[in-house]
Amino acid sequence: MKPNDQVYRWMTPSPLVVSRDATVATAFDLMEQHAIRHLPVLDRGDLVGMVSATDLAFVKRFADPEATLVSEAMSTPPYVAHPSTPLDEVAGAMARQRLGSAIIVESGNVVGVFTAVDALRAIAGDRDGRPEDAATIA
């Protein structure tokens, strides 16, 4: 990690997203299919939340995942940063708020997801430790 590193250098670009009206089962299947743990949640193109695999697993224990909507499982408001935000600022905010991820937004569009694992890769200087398809999923 270099001084003044910006979060865009370590985020997963072009993440998959899920609609707030999707079922928990649909979101969970999407995560399993792509081996991911975080999905930004959109409502008609607007960012409204974040849902994690942990959120979905919790809901699945107490409710029917086929009948429960992502909007009932998501965290709001999501922590959002701009791609040029310093990495240490994003990681510090995530640590203080005990968050597993940040959504990276530019001009109102979700452009990336930065996770705690990405932060560890940055500390280790391991840009090559990403999954091969990380350019297209979060």
| Residue 4, pLDDT score | 74
Q: Domain for residue 41, yes or no?
A: yes
How many Å apart are CA 40 and CA 110, to the nearest integer? 8
Q: Domain for residue 111, yes or no?
A: yes
Q: How many folded domains does the chain comprise?
A: 1
Q: Domain for residue 2, yes or no?
A: no
| Residue 131, pLDDT score | 44
Average pLDDT of the segment spanning 117-138: 65
Two tokens at 87?
Answer: 């990495």
Give the strand pairing for 18-19 and 38-43: parallel
Lowest mean pLDDT among 48-62, 79-93, 118-132: 118-132
- Residue 21 maps to which CATH number? 3.10.580.10
Q: Domain for residue 57, yes or no?
A: yes
% of residues, the chain, pLDDT over 70:
89
Two tokens at 13?
Answer: 């670009």
Domain that holds residue 33: 7-129
How many Å apart are CA 107 and CA 121, to the nearest integer? 27
Q: Domain for residue 138, yes or no?
A: no
Q: Domain for residue 46, yes or no?
A: yes
Q: Domain for residue 67, yes or no?
A: yes
pLDDT band at 125 (very low <50, low <70, confident <90, very high): confident
pLDDT 10s digits, 20-33: 999 999 999 999 99
Question: Is 133 a residue whose pLDDT tops 70?
Answer: no
Q: Domain for residue 83, yes or no?
A: yes
